[in-house]
């Protein structure tokens, strides 16, 4: 996903039929919760044809870009009057050509370049699961403070959204819950009367985030591998 050409291609395909329902849902959530970061589902997933739902806690906050310097601030503090006039002329000539850099669209994908996504991709491929069969989602679909517990309000809202996501996955066979805060959101679906398909295998395990596996790394990676091996069995 770090390749700008690949990212642009994915962003241009967000309305393809297999992921369009999720794009519509994200648009609805963004409109209802202005200012919240809600990523789209990347078209690399089979979307409505996905068979594995992978749930993490919430999207990581976007990195804050460094503010761009204005042309005046970028100039040396001391310039001659002639140099200043020349700079202003050049700036006026180039003004129409200046375009603000586009902010890359955030997308959920197991093709990400962060440690958690790379670890998940490796677990899938090692288990023999086609990564495109996976739909990544979150217990809470927008960014929340990663250092604070999930609030009851966010967890309830996330559960209502999750019920809609599940309804878009008629071929769903496996759900993998990454992290303790994810489990009650999923478990609440049944008590809320959500139409969860029968026969789904639910696996509960650690997050794939670096912070979750750095302690007892070897044993936790073995546990994660066993979970995805079990998921592969359920798909066969």
Q: What share of the chain is helix, strand, coil (3-state, %, to 5)?
A: 45, 10, 45
pLDDT of residue 144: 93
pLDDT of residue 75: 46
Does residue 73 fall inside a structural domain? no
- List the pLDDT tens digit at each of the 236 positions of the chain: 668 899 999 999 999 999 999 999 999 999 999 989 999 999 999 999 999 999 999 998 876 544 444 444 444 444 455 555 555 555 554 544 444 444 568 899 998 777 788 999 999 999 999 999 999 999 999 999 988 999 999 999 999 999 999 999 999 999 999 999 999 999 998 777 677 878 899 999 988 887 777 777 888 899 999 999 999 999 99
Does residue 72 fall inside a structural domain? no
Looking up residue 35, the CATH number of its domain turns out to be: 3.40.470.10
pLDDT of residue 81: 53
Q: Residue 142 and residue 202: Cα distance in Å, rounded?
A: 23
Identify the helix (H) or strand (E) that includes residue 48. Answer: none
Does residue 79 fall inside a structural domain? no
Q: How many domains does the chain have?
A: 1
pLDDT of residue 74: 43
Does residue 139 fall inside a structural domain? yes
Q: Can you give the residue range of the structural domain that contains 162?
A: 4-61+102-235
pLDDT of residue 143: 94
Does residue 133 fall inside a structural domain? yes
59 in Cβ contact with 143 (< 8 Å): yes
pLDDT of residue 197: 79
Q: Residue 131 and residue 111: Cα distance in Å, rounded?
A: 8
pLDDT of residue 163: 94
Does residue 94 fall inside a structural domain? no
The beta strands (E) that lie in the chain are given as 40-41, 52-56, 107-108, 134-138, 174-178, 201-205
pLDDT of residue 20: 98
**Tokens 């375009």 — which residue?**
99
pLDDT of residue 212: 77
Does residue 146 fall inside a structural domain? yes
User: What would the two tokens of residue 193 be?
Assistant: 């009367």
Q: Residue 75 and residue 69: Cα distance in Å, rounded?
A: 9
Does residue 207 fall inside a structural domain? yes
Identify the helix (H) or strand (E) that includes residue 184. Answer: helix 183-191
Q: Residue 190 and residue 122: Cα distance in Å, rounded?
A: 31
Burial 84-113 (b: 16+ CB within 10 A, else e): eeeeeeeeeeeeeeeeeeeeeebbbbbbbe
Q: Residue 144 and residue 157: Cα distance in Å, rounded?
A: 13
pLDDT of residue 86: 56
């Amino acid at each position: 996903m770090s390749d700008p050409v690949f990212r642009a291609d994915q962003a241009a395909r967000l309305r393809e039929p297999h992921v369009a329902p999720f794009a519509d849902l994200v648009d609805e959530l963004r409109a209802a919760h202005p200012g919240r970061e809600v990523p789209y589902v990347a078209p690399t997933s089979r979307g409505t044809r996905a068979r594995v739902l992978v749930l993490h806690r919430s999207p990581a906050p976007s990195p804050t870009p460094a503010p761009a310097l204005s042309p005046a601030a970028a100039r040396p503090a001391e310039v001659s009057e002639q140099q200043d006039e020349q700079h202003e002329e050049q700036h006026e000539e180039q003004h129409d050509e200046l375009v603000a850099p586009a902010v890359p669209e955030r997308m959920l994908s197991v093709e990400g370049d962060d440690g958690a996504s790379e670890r998940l991709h490796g677990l899938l491929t090692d288990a023999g699961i086609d990564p495109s069969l996976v739909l990544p989602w979150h217990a809470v679909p927008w960014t929340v403070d990663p250092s604070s517990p999930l609030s009851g309000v966010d967890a309830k809202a996330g559960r209502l959204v999750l019920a809609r996501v599940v309804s878009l996955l008629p071929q769903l066979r496996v759900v993998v819950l990454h992290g303790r805060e994810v489990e009650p959101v999923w478990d609440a679906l049944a008590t809320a009367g959500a139409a969860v398909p029968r026969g789904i295998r639910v696996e509960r395990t650690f997050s794939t985030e670096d912070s979750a596996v750095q302690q007892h790394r070897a044993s936790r990676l073995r546990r994660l591998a066993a979970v995805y091996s079990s998921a592969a069995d359920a798909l066969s």
